[in-house]
Amino acid sequence: AQSVTQPDIHITVSEGASLELRCNYSYGATPYLFWYVQSPGQGLQLLLKYFSGDTLVQGIKGFEAEFKRSQSSFNLRKPSVHWSDAAEYFCAVGATMAGTALIFGKGTTLSVSS
């Protein structure tokens, strides 16, 4: 069965430091992969997505993610974190066939310290 694991429930990073949020997936074929961000009490906003091709994907707000097939991972990175990046981040996997729904990880809460 398809699944997504975000091993870190909560991460604290100093402002200006680099960030990496981990995501591992279980899927029988090459999936579609997504990262979303959620501010408290709000909906989710798409940061970036991977379908195929270049394994390093650029997104909004200075985020990037790298797809590593051998490790079944799709980790999210940012070189320098800003206080406004504090939020909850969700990794999601989608099937390559129509008629299915995204499967989400349980999320990682990012806190930014000054």
Partner 1 sequence: DGGITQSPKYLFRKEGQNVTLSCEQNLNHDAMYWYRQDPGQGLRLIYYSQIVNDFQKGDIAEGYSVSREKKESFPLTVTSAQKNPTAFYLCASSTAGSNYGYTFGSGTRLTVV
Q: Which residues bind partner 1 (CB under 8 A)?
A: 9, 32, 34, 36, 41-46, 49, 51, 90, 94-107
At residue 60, φ and ψ (nearest 5 deg) are -85, 165
The answer to whether the Cα torsion of 53, 105, 41, 43 is positive or negative is: positive
The residue among 41 and 114 lying less far from partner 1, judged by its C-beta, is 41
Closest by CA to 5, choosing from 25, 21, 19, 20, is 25
**Residue 32 Cβ, how far from partner 1 at the closest point, in Å?**
5
Separation of alpha carbons 13 and 104, rounded Å: 23
CB of 20 to partner 1, least distance (A): 19
CB of 93 to partner 1, least distance (A): 9
Residue number, 96 or 113, with CB nearest to partner 1:
96
